[in-house]
């Protein structure tokens, strides 16, 4: 049993054994809710790697969304958020934190889905970046009890999702409770050319949300060169 657990942890805590930018094998049906910076970056990259991308947008018929679909692999499409999740295995919530609860409620039945939550509940006030929520990922999980939520991709910029460093030197911490869900998300993160690292149960997502706010504070207010990136 101990050996199995150690092997599982090794899978999650080391970069996967394929080169950045190469698909690991299994193709996923990925619904991406939101067509902004993060949604578009992930859809473009995963679509190019052969995953099936369905964007869920409030306005799926715009020219901007059509251009994004055309750039997101041969099987990409756009529709409403509720329709997008219907056949999906993975659901990415690439929406503002203030809209998250309403968006999740509007998606309907999410049983069996893996939800990737990259959301930073950030509120700018008096030169600070405050946490707008004490534990958003867990709240999302409570709204979708039949799904597995994995907090991921909230601690780096969408720019690194689009163009990762050649040496996969940016760590993407993942918090979640389901081993299979974590493994699938880790594989998708590694395919982007980033380094997935499991950092514990979904409870710990609150710490990733704080790390996300710290990342935003440093890069927005201190503006270091090079930018702050997390590497474990």
Ligand X SMILES: NC(=O)c1ccc[n+]([C@@H]2O[C@H](COP(=O)([O-])OP(=O)(O)OC[C@H]3O[C@@H](n4cnc5c(N)ncnc54)[C@H](OP(=O)(O)O)[C@@H]3O)[C@@H](O)[C@H]2O)c1
Does position 158 bind ligand X by CB under 6 A?
yes
Dihedral of alpha carbons 30, 35, 38, 41, sign = positive
The pattern of x and - marking residues 111 through 130 that bind ligand X according to CB under 6 A reads -------xxx----------
Instruction: Classify residue 20 by its DSSP letter.
Output: T
Contacting ligand X (CB under 6 A), which of 39, 73, 132, 196? 39
CA distance 92 to 61: 20
The pattern of x and - marking residues 71 through 110 that bind ligand X according to CB under 6 A reads -----------------------xxxx-x---x-------
Report whether 189 contacts 174 (CB < 8 A).
yes
Residue 93 vs 181, nearer CB to ligand X: 93
Residue 83 vs 179, nearer CB to ligand X: 83
CA atoms within 13 A on the CB side of 165: 14
Q: Which residue is nearest to ligand X (CB)?
A: 36
Closest distance between ligand X and the C-beta of residue 59, in Å?
6
Does position 54 bind ligand X by CB under 6 A?
no
Phi, psi for 105 (deg, rounded to 5): -60, -35
Does position 46 bind ligand X by CB under 6 A?
no
Which residue, among 25, 1, 9, has the nearest Cα to 174 in the 3D structure? 9
CA of residue 137 relative to chain centroid, distance = 12
Residues β-bridged to residue 30: 53, 90
Residue 110 vs 119, nearer CB to ligand X: 119
- By CB under 6 A, how many residues form the interface with ligand X? 22
Report whether 33 contacts 103 (CB < 8 A).
yes
Which residues sit at the interface with ligand X, rule CB under 6 A? 34-39, 57-59, 94-97, 99, 103, 118-120, 153-154, 157-158
């Amino acid at each position: 049993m101990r050996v199995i657990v150690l092997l599982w942890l090794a899978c999650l805590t080391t970069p996967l054994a394929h080169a950045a930018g190469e698909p690991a094998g299994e193709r996923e049906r990925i619904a991406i809710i939101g067509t902004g910076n993060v949604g578009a970056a992930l859809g473009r990259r995963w679509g190019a790697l052969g995953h099936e991308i369905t964007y869920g947008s409030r306005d799926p018929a715009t020219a901007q969304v059509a251009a994004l679909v055309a750039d997101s692999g041969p099987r990409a499409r756009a529709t409403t958020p509720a329709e997008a999740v219907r056949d999906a295995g993975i659901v990415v919530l690439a929406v503002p934190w203030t809209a998250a609860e309403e968006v999740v409620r509007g998606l309907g039945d999410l049983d069996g889905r893996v939800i990737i939550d990259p959301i930073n509940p950030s509120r700018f006030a008096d030169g600070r970046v405050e946490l707008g929520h004490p534990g958003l990922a867990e709240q999302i999980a409570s709204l979708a009890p039949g799904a597995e939520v994995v907090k991921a991709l909230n601690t780096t910029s969408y720019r690194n999702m689009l163009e990762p460093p050649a040496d996969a030197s940016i760590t993407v911490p993942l918090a979640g409770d389901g081993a299979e869900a974590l493994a699938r998300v880790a594989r998708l993160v590694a395919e982007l050319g980033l380094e997935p690292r499991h950092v514990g149960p979904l409870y710990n997502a609150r710490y990733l949300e704080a790390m996300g706010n710290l990342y935003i504070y440093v890069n927005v207010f201190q503006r270091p060169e090079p930018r702050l990136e997390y590497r474990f």
